[in-house]
Amino acid sequence: MERIVQRLCAARDSGAMVYVAGNGGSASTASHWVNDLGKGAKCPGRTPMRVLSLNDNISWLTALANDEGYERVFSGQLENFARSGDLLIVISASGNSPNLLRAVELARKRGVITIGLLGFNGGALKDEVDECLLLPTEKGAYGLAESGHSLLCHVLTTCVALQEPVPSSASPK
């Protein structure tokens, strides 16, 4: 968790973009967390977080799904935005969603740091992201994984809000 807080603070302080994505209940968590990071973690005198939920533009998401396939709904958007030094956070109970895997693949090619909030055993995403926050749950325990991820997002947001700016010469390892 500490490394993820450091990554979020570094993105905030450098003006990098933070993208968050998930499916189903994890999409709802992504939307909520983006609100919390954008507004709830905003502090007077500190650079605000530049954060965007990739599952919130329903017209773009459904156009990509219809025209290019559901596995492209997030990577198709990232093609327009993602730059080296940005941050992509994927939230998934199973860790096996093809659209999240494709987004991570594209992000890594663009030099975007990737973080996974994962459940079950982490799935395929566990080995593809730069940082993994795994909430080990029984396979199929979606409610537990999703509730846990929501709680972790609140804890991470509080830590980011309390964290002093990262010196420009420092970078998380």
Written as tens digits, the pLDDT of the chain (173 aa) is: 999 999 999 999 999 999 999 999 999 999 999 999 999 888 888 889 999 999 999 999 999 999 999 999 999 999 999 999 999 999 999 999 999 999 999 999 999 999 999 999 999 999 999 999 999 999 999 999 999 999 999 999 999 999 876 555 555 55
- Do 109 and 84 meet the contact criterion of CB atoms below 8 Å apart? no
Q: Are 88 and 116 in contact, with CB atoms under 8 Å apart?
A: no
Where are the domains positioned within the chain? 2-161
Q: Residue 58, Cβ neighbours under 10 Å: how many? A: 8
- Helices (H) then strands (E): counts for the chain: 6, 5
- pLDDT value for 54: 98
Homologous superfamily of 2-161 in CATH? Glucose-6-phosphate isomerase like protein; domain 1 (3.40.50.10490)
Strand (E) or helix (H) holding 102: helix 98-109
Residue 129's pLDDT is what? 98
Per the listing, tokens 């659209």 go with 99
What pLDDT sits at residue 45?
Answer: 82
For 40-106, the DSSP string reads: IT--TTSPPPEEEETTS-HHHHHHHHHHH-GGGTTHHHHHHH--TT-EEEEEESSS--HHHHHHHHH
